Amino acid sequence: MNEPAELWYRFAQEDLQAAEILFREEMYNQVCFHSQQATEKALKAVIVKLLGINPPRVHALTDLLRMIPPRYFSTVRSAIIGFLDVFYLPVRYPDALPGMAPEGLPGRREAEEALELARTAMGETEQILAIHT
């Protein structure tokens, strides 16, 4: 694995670990945020590895997935775009969206889904990086 891709992947692993710890502590909005971050950094690792370029400084998973050939992340691509991509901003700041907090914060069900998507994305990233080493 080349060093820049490995660094992105290592940071993604740390975000996934944080999400898992936060899930046990029932901090579900932060689980969603760190799941989004783990997935974002995993996608950036793949971009570095496959395209040989520095990833763009964007947080939208949709934008990152557009750069990655469709055969990758095919089983979770629509779920990442439709579910996980919404968690970057609203779960970080209580005033990000009117009426978002506290009643609109993600609950256990959303946190479980976000965490599962991040785990799946990380597993696929690991395979991609291993194949293209």
Identify the domain containing residue 12 by its residue range: 3-131
Between 83 and 133, whose confidence is greater?
83
What pLDDT score was predicted for residue 97? Answer: 47
Backbone torsion region of residue 106, taken as left when φ is above 0, otherwise alpha when ψ lies between -120 and 50, otherwise beta: beta
| Angle, alpha carbons 7-119-16 (nearest 5°) | 50
pLDDT in tens, 76-128: 999 988 888 888 765 555 555 444 445 577 889 999 999 999 999 999 999 99
**Mean per-residue pLDDT, 39-57:** 97
What pLDDT score was predicted for residue 84? Answer: 86
Tokens of 51: 């395209």
Other Cβ atoms less than 10 A from the Cβ of 111: the count is 25
Q: Which three-class secondary structure state does DSSP give residue 125?
A: helix
- CATH (domain of 36): 1.20.120.330
Q: Check: pTM over 0.95? Answer yes or no.
A: no
Omega prior to 55 cis, within 30 of 0: no
**Number of domains making up the chain:** 1
